[in-house]
Structure 1
């Protein structure tokens, strides 16, 4: 009995010290309780993972070994491609052709660039952008004439493109912005610069003496690609021009006036 009285007196004394408020034990929040309640109401069990800091095991959803493997594999692929294009060995022509075909056909730079600029309002950072230049009337037009001159071979006769006669060493410009898809010998054209545009079309320029661009370069509308090769008397020259889209050639004279 005396023990009970002492406990009551002790509680009263403690209550007076705390200003008449009795402290209530606080229940600690547990994520296990929250998950248990969610499982009870949803009817589904959540997957659980045990993690022991002392075992130095990583989270099952992230594997540093697999991440490192992918990183090293990517580095090796880039290194192999660099070696392919730095080594002019004939035995590697097949591999180089495969890489070029993959980058040119499977991944269209011009379309990707146009989509990015449409969505985000700015061109990709890898594309050089002129700062402080005012747009000219020529830049605002739909297409730029590669080089003015007389059409000596029409599309009707060649079924592939046109041949334009102009002065030797005349600069040839890109009709529209795009990426240099290839610089190679094409049957019936000779050494040809092919530029891929945002709408999927390609413009071909042949008969150039000096080529000032490289494969995969981004070309602005009106940018100089090269110069016309001189013929005989060194006063006149000619270049070939073709438009290619959806697997067939189109008549360039319907979209560009060369005279």
Structure 2
């Protein structure tokens, strides 16, 4: 009996040792997974760094939008309160606000003031203006095919061949695109707050808010079967004037 018990105990001890060895092997296989990876050894932690920068950038954009939103709301409310108030003290600011919202900004006048004040054209201007002392001229060479008295807004000029359409005076382009009545059209605002209109062009060579000089090319006109005339008009103080009269007066001076 004693020999049998000893054998059983020895057998149990051997099994325990075998289990312990297997446990140690499993431990050594699991341990390397907790070691630093190659990126971590070299100090590269993309997750934490990117998240921090992204959150800062996102917070900055949100703050910027919030500030713009608050300022816009304040401006809107101030304008609304201004128009709701009947105080005589606010009559001048109210009138200025109405004119600003309804009238076109005098780009050409501002550019002229800048030149007179600082002695040089604004950065948006291509070159100094040379309008003073020069006679006015039609935008193209050609006969008048339709007079101002015929339509009450402008005249039509009929060039015999393809030609460049030039600005009568220096100023800033306030419109360059398609018009339902005059096709491809360019409108130029001048320092005296007048505007000249050049319509029925074949192509346009200028863009919105571009400062131009007297005689600068605005586009090209190519006479064809459906387009034989360049439309030209002068508008001042919200009314049209006869371009022929204006240019003849300038020549006489």
**TM, length-normalised to structure 2:** 0.54
For 2:177 and 2:101, locate their aligned partners in 1 and report how far apart those are by CA, in whole Å: 15
Q: Secondary structure at the match of 1:241?
A: strand
Is the Cα–Cα contact under 8 Å of residues 176 and 187 in structure 2 kept in the other structure?
yes
Shift of 1:210: 1.1
Aligned residues: 158
Question: 1:111-136: CA deviations, max 9, x gaps?
Answer: 10011112222211232226xxxx7x
When residues 158 and 129 of structure 1 are mapped into structure 2, their CA distance, relative to the original with a 3 A threshold, is same
1:238 deviates by 1.8
Deviations 1:169-221 (A, max 9, x none): 21110000011101244454233210000000000000110111111111110
CA offsets, 1:136-186, max 9 Å, x none?
xx9841423211111010001110000001123211100000111012444
Give the gaps of 5 or more residues in structure 2.
Answer: 1-62, 73-99, 249-253
Does structure 1 residue 245 correspond to structure 2 residue 236?
Answer: yes
| Higher helix content, 1 or 2 | 2
Task: Say whether the 8 Å CA contact 1:242–1:251 is kept in structure 2.
Answer: yes
Q: Secondary structure at the match of 2:108?
A: helix
Task: Please list, as runs of the form range in 1=range in 2, the aligned pairs for 1:1-259 lying within 5 A after superposition.
Answer: 73=68, 105-129=103-127, 140-186=133-179, 188-232=181-225, 237-256=228-247
Instruction: Indicate the SS of the match to 1:256.
Output: helix
**Aligned 8 A contact 1:167 1:228 in 2:** no
Q: CA deviation at 1:70?
A: 9.5
Mapped partners of 1:104, 1:245: distance in 2: 16
Please list every run of 5 or more consecutive structure 1 residues that lacks an aligned counterpart in the other structure: 1-67, 78-101
Q: 1:70 to 1:192 in 2, by over 3 A?
A: same
Rg comparison, structure with higher value: 2
Checking the alignment, whether the CA contact within 8 Å between 2:196 and 2:232 is kept in structure 1 is: yes
Note if contact 1:172-1:228 (Cα within 8 Å) is conserved in structure 2. yes
Residue of structure 1 in register with 2:89 after alignment: none
Moved over 6 A (4+): none
- State the Cα RMSD in Å: 3.3
| TM-score, structure 1 as length reference | 0.53
